[in-house]
Amino acid sequence: MYNYGLTKAEGTAKIFIHIHKCLKSHFILFVVMMNKLSTNRNLILKPLLQALKQIDSGGKYAEIEGLDKKIDEISKQEQAIVGLYTRNILEPARFHEKQNSLQAELARLRDKKRILQGGVLNEKTVVTETDELYKYLNKNGGILEEFDDALFIRFVSGIVVVSSIEIGFNLKNGLCLRERIAR
């Protein structure tokens, strides 16, 4: 690491000042972005929210229920072959072959169920976050005058540097809204 003739404290101070300037510009861009979103909420968020609410998660719920039934059936089959094996009706080689096959199928079905459940939960989160953002903007409808850290924490999941002149605010509802950095 190079110190360029600076003491550790001076170097740390310069880094802190640089970070502070960058964050300050990001804070200003957040205010600009929220003001634009507030002004255009009925053009952006309202149609998005309506479309999200129309997404058919019912098909996923039915598929999850079907997977639960298959998992129960396979679990019963596994219990049955264990019973046959313990009563010496089923040979060890055949038992292990069948048990391995059933366990592999169970693992596959459980993985598929977990993925579907994650998708359903993600859809609910996106709808909820979009709804809460829309309600906030409708309730407060005005323009932000200054940075509000509670508001930032509530609705922003991260900041992405798109280019040297543009950053994106990743919102918790999945949107990434970009703002240009004024030079």
Of 83, 106, 104, 105, the residue nearest 95 (C-alpha): 83
| pLDDT confidence bin for 164, thresholds 50/70/90 | confident
* Distance (Å, whole) CA 157 – CA 39: 22
Residue 98 falls inside a structural domain:
yes
Q: Can you tell me the mean pLDDT for 61-84?
A: 90
Residue 127 falls inside a structural domain:
yes
Residue 108 falls inside a structural domain:
yes
- Give pLDDT, residue 3: 42
| pLDDT confidence bin for 7, thresholds 50/70/90 | low
For 40, the token pair is 């255009």
Q: Which of 16-30, 38-52, 64-78, 139-153 is predicted least confidently?
A: 16-30
For 68, the token pair is 């639960």
User: Residue 55: which CATH number?
Assistant: 1.10.287
Domain tally for the chain?
Answer: 1
Q: How buried is residue 101: exposed, middle or buried, by Cβ count under 10 Å (0-12/13-18/19+)?
A: middle
For 18, the token pair is 């640089």
**Helix or strand or coil: residue 148?**
coil
Residue 3 falls inside a structural domain:
no
> Pairing state of beta strands 166-171 and 156-163?
antiparallel
Inter-residue contact 33 to 169 (CB < 8 Å): yes
Domain that holds residue 127: 8-180
Residue 80 falls inside a structural domain:
yes
